[in-house]
Amino acid sequence: MKEIAVIGAGTMGNGIAHVFAMKGYKVALIDIAESALEKAMATIEKNLDRMVRKERITEGDKLTTLAGITTYTDMKQGVAGRDLIIEAATENIDLKLKIFKNLDELAAPNAILATNTSSISITKIAAATQRPDKVIGMHFFNPVPVMKLVEVINGYATDPQVTAEIMDMSKGLGKVPVEVKDYPGFAANRILMPMLNEAFYTLYEGVSGVQEIDTVMKLGMGHPMGPLQLADFVGLDVCLAILEVLHKGFGNPKYAACPLLVNMVTAGKLGRKSGEGFYDYSAKGKDLVVAQQFA
Ligand code: 3HC
């Protein structure tokens, strides 16, 4: 299996294309917007340049990796003849169902259809196709070239042979795959999001400040980023959407999103991508600046 396609050229999609191309796969990177594809290729090049600077790869490796990625705005052309298609579009259930219905018609009959969803049911996505046995979750973590984990999620009907292939392929990428079942939040976000939500409540209830909460978890627990910085990095809208999936899926009030998070998302403060969340990213300096609201 050496020819794959990635749908969606955002942060996750370009990272996935990057890691596959670095391992010699021929990658079709597909997005409806030409501008998103251009931005994605520039990001991949920047991340490869960083690896060249750190002497992890050579300039030649960088050029071979870039040459291994072809961009498409036409899904039919992009997926033709590919063995594996990984969907990494926006986390929106209606959009994903539509993409999988199309993919089922356009992709080769034997192709595996994977989704990088962080919280939407694999079984539900698979049910939009005529090949639910070949649909699987392949959940990467941001930044994809750095984070070792791939959460491999079996839908209700996923063929164990398909799971075995995806586990092997993930190992071949230099990642560590972990197999999980298809229940709300899978394993990673079921554990991560309540922890982040508790950090939001700790701030909301005035127990401590933004920097203090992050310092507690960085220095006390050895986390590379504090929970509020990590929430900004992931996107506060994404955190809210996943908490809602957990809350609805389990019907347990312990997953109810903190009202502060809801207000911030409503106000358009989405974290790093919008320029402000718990921290203010408008100043480009190296030090994190706490957003005015919490300073
Ligand atoms: N692409 C490629 N490489 C990158 C990168 C990127 N975007 N960002 C950083 N790196 C590399 C650097 O080159 C460096 O490599 P080296 O250590 O081998 O020399 C390494 O990552 C560390 O980078 P820096 O020294 O510049 O920065 P930090 O030490 O601050 O590390 C970090 C940055 C790796 C992002 C670290 O802070 C971290 O691990 N944070 C936690 C990230 C995390 O938890 N991600 C998961 C989010 S949850 C998710 O994605 C699931 C979703 O469903 C919600």
Show the ligand 1 pocket: residues with CB < 6 angstroms: 47, 50, 54, 118, 141-143, 145-147, 189, 224-225, 230, 234, 238
DSSP string over 28-45: EEE-S-HHHHHHHHHHHH
Residue 1 pLDDT more than 70?
no
Residue nearest to atom 49 of ligand 1 (CA): 141
Q: How far is the CA of 146 from the centre of ligand 1 (A)?
A: 6
pTM for this prediction: 0.95
Task: Provide CB contacts within 8 A for 2, sequence distance 6+.
Answer: 24, 25, 26, 83
pLDDT band at 283 (very low <50, low <70, confident <90, very high): confident
Going along the chain from its start, the domains and CATH numbers come out as: 3-181 (3.40.50.720), 188-290 (1.10.1040.10)
Distances (CA, A) of 237 to 34, 68, 241, 262: 25, 33, 6, 9
Q: Which residue numbers are catalytic?
A: 118, 139, 151, 189
- Taking only the tens place, the pLDDT of each residue in 26-68 is 999 999 999 999 999 999 999 999 999 999 999 999 999 999 9
Residue nearest to atom 35 of ligand 1 (CA): 143
Q: At what angle do helices 59-67 and 11-22 cross, to 10 degrees?
A: 110
- Taking only the tens place, the pLDDT of each residue in 82-92 is 999 999 999 89
Tell me how far apart the alpha carbons of residues 91 and 116 are, in angstroms, rounded to a whole number. 9
Q: Which of 146, 153, 217, 242 to mutate to test the pocket of ligand 1 (most atoms within 8 A of CB)?
A: 146
Instruction: Name the average pLDDT for the chain.
Output: 97
Q: How far is the CA of 63 from the centre of ligand 1 (A)?
A: 23
Residue nearest to atom 25 of ligand 1 (CA): 224
Residue nearest to atom 20 of ligand 1 (CA): 146
